[in-house]
Structure 1
């Protein structure tokens, strides 16, 4: 039953990501802790996120701007160390509350402020975005929004934006996997569950991209934001 649950979560989460461009970790991280520890859930999500990001990055490799990656990636790796340390050091009840508030804040950001926040594409801002992304990604694997904001203003067209975002997420996921190995979070059971999650995520991406061409993205966004707020409240209440 747990394998089916994991498969369905990653399938649906990846469908959302394929349609909206984000959402796998945001969808999976509140739901997985119902059947497993938060630390185990983090491992599953980072493996699936790595697999998806690699696929997209390879498809967009011609649009990668290496110079643009340096500051965000270095800062992100530092942030990941901090984030994973927090994940391993604090009580799960505290982290679940933190995750709940993070989901609520992210939903508010995407619903009301995504297109209103304006920053310059400088190395300093790239480092700041990378650091914030690294910390939140290390704890919850939810590190996309800060990088998304930065790359939107630092790149000239959408292909370059997506290519650099995905490559940064690949670095982030690889480093997180190494840290989880060092902390002893990766074992036979997590690898088995991760393989099921990867299969679900891969299938979900193809479905999501197919739906993307037909679905009203504004309506979907409202559904996702509402879901995020509800799950955030549940995580806070069930601490």
Structure 2
């Protein structure tokens, strides 16, 4: 009865809801494993079923819950120095992204992001061997562009991860620091979305209520996998996920 009531608010069929379940479960299994990737893995699939302006605010709720759970369990691994280095640039990017949200065309931005997210990790995965340290000054472009994409599409996580993977050798530290950054930006997005009036759509809350158990289950499944996969393999999983996400974004931009 409750599911039927919630479905009536979303205008989705039971089959469409059933298709959303594995998408959310998969996305947050990846989040539990790596500390990032939920939005960029889910968005290309979610937006085939629900509108972008519904999918992005809904995923934000899941990011807040999963990121908070991960932060509580792994806060000792967070690299505070890298967060302090990134956050000013991320905030500038998010403010700029809010301005662009109303005017910038979506397809070219997603295509550019998809190409970058595809090519950079493909190079790392196929041609580079071992850890290669990035210049800390790169926190500015990565933070600004990542913040802009976070505000507009919720897809800034790969850029934060690319930068942090070039600064942090330890896989647990990379996972904890990335997830903490995502939680911090999620609170910023929550304020931006509330100001923009996106949460006037009650379908967002109905969908979030139905799919939240899938997000939490995926998070714990990913955490279980993280404890059983060697750190060097986790880094390679990160690059492989980014390549998959890049293909997804290019596909979505091609479809318009």
Does TM, scored on the shorter chain, surpass 0.5? yes
Match of 1:234 in 2: 251
CA drift of 1:12 comes to: 1.4
CA distance in 1: counterparts of 2:58 and 2:212, whole angstroms: 8
Tell me the secondary structure at the aligned position of residue 88 of structure 2. Answer: helix
The reply on whether 1:54 has 2:71 as its aligned counterpart is no
Q: Which runs of 5+ in 1 are unaligned?
A: none
Of 76, 98, 109, 2:109 maps to 98
The reply on whether 1:16 has 2:27 as its aligned counterpart is no
Tell me the secondary structure at the aligned position of residue 102 of structure 2. Answer: helix
CA drift of 1:75 comes to: 1.7
Match of 1:30 in 2: 44
Q: Quick check: 1:6–1:196 contact (8 Å CA) kept in 2?
A: no
Q: Quick check: 1:9–1:31 contact (8 Å CA) kept in 2?
A: yes
CA distance in 1: counterparts of 2:79 and 2:246, whole angstroms: 35
Match of 1:200 in 2: 214
CA drift of 1:113 comes to: 2.9
Match of 1:119 in 2: 134
CA 65–27 in structure 1, closer or farther in 2 if over 3 Å, else same: closer
Q: Which runs of 5+ in 2 are unaligned?
A: 1-13
CA drift of 1:155 comes to: 4.5
Q: Quick check: 1:83–1:135 contact (8 Å CA) kept in 2?
A: yes
CA distance in 1: counterparts of 2:247 and 2:83, whole angstroms: 35
Match of 1:163 in 2: 176
CA drift of 1:174 comes to: 0.3
Provide the alpha-carbon RMSD of the alignment: 3.1
Deviates more, 1:68-77 or 1:27-36: 68-77
Q: Deviations over 1:121-147 (max 9, x none)?
A: 3xx433332212101211221112332
The reply on whether 1:42 has 2:56 as its aligned counterpart is yes
Q: Rg bigger for which structure? A: 2
CA distance in 1: counterparts of 2:43 and 2:73, whole angstroms: 27
Matches within 5 A, 1:60-79: 60-79=74-93
TM-score where L is the length of structure 2: 0.76
TM-score where L is the length of structure 1: 0.80
CA drift of 1:224 comes to: 4.5
Deviates more, 1:2-11 or 1:221-230: 221-230
Q: Deviations over 1:194-224 (max 9, x none)?
A: 2334321111122233345369869967975
The reply on whether 1:3 has 2:20 as its aligned counterpart is no
CA drift of 1:7 comes to: 2.8
